[in-house]
Structure formats: C-alpha cells, structure tokens
Amino acid sequence: MRLFLTSEELEELTGRKRRKEQCSTLDAMHIRWKINAAGDLLVARRHVEQVFCGEAPAIQERTRPNLEALSR
C-alpha cells in the first residue's frame, strides 16, 4: 500500500479535480496536506484513515492577536 493517496484517490476524496479546490476541501475536512518540490499534492493515507475513524488529533485553529487591545 502506498504512503500517500494517488491523484485519483484525492479526486475521489475531495470531489474536485483542481489542486487549489482540493486543498480548500481538504482544509474544510481537517485533513493535513503538503505540496512537494515537484508541485504535487501529498496527503498521507494513514492520516486520512485516522480522520475518518475519529483517531486524528483535532487541528487547532490559529489564534490571532487582539489588535483592539493595542488601541486602548
């Protein structure tokens, strides 16, 4: 079994053909992805299995600074 999903599997998982749309869909599904040096979208098969089985740790949202506090 391959370490990363194939392009066909990514298309099936996301329902999208374009990489940009696939990335957006993966983000919405809380699935981590990377772009390699060749420009290919990489998604670890094990991570997808963990997300779908409820075993993956939740992705924490980035906190943003409270800029209003600076203007007080």
pLDDT tens track for 5-51: 999 999 999 999 999 999 999 999 999 999 999 999 999 999 999 99
Q: Is residue 62 part of a domain?
A: no
Q: How far apart (Å, rounded) are the C-alpha atoms in residues 1 and 19?
A: 23
Number of domains, the chain: 1
Q: Is residue 2 part of a domain?
A: no
Query: Residue written as tokens 């963990």?
Result: 50
How distant, in Å, are the alpha carbons of 14, 18, 71 from that of 5? Answer: 12, 15, 48
Give the ranges where the chain is alpha helix by DSSP (H).
7-14, 19-28, 45-53
Q: Is residue 64 part of a domain?
A: no
How many residues appear in the chain? 72
Q: Is residue 45 part of a domain?
A: yes
DSSP state of 44: B
Q: Is residue 35 part of a domain?
A: yes
Which pTM value belongs to this model?
Answer: 0.74
Strand partners, 4: 44
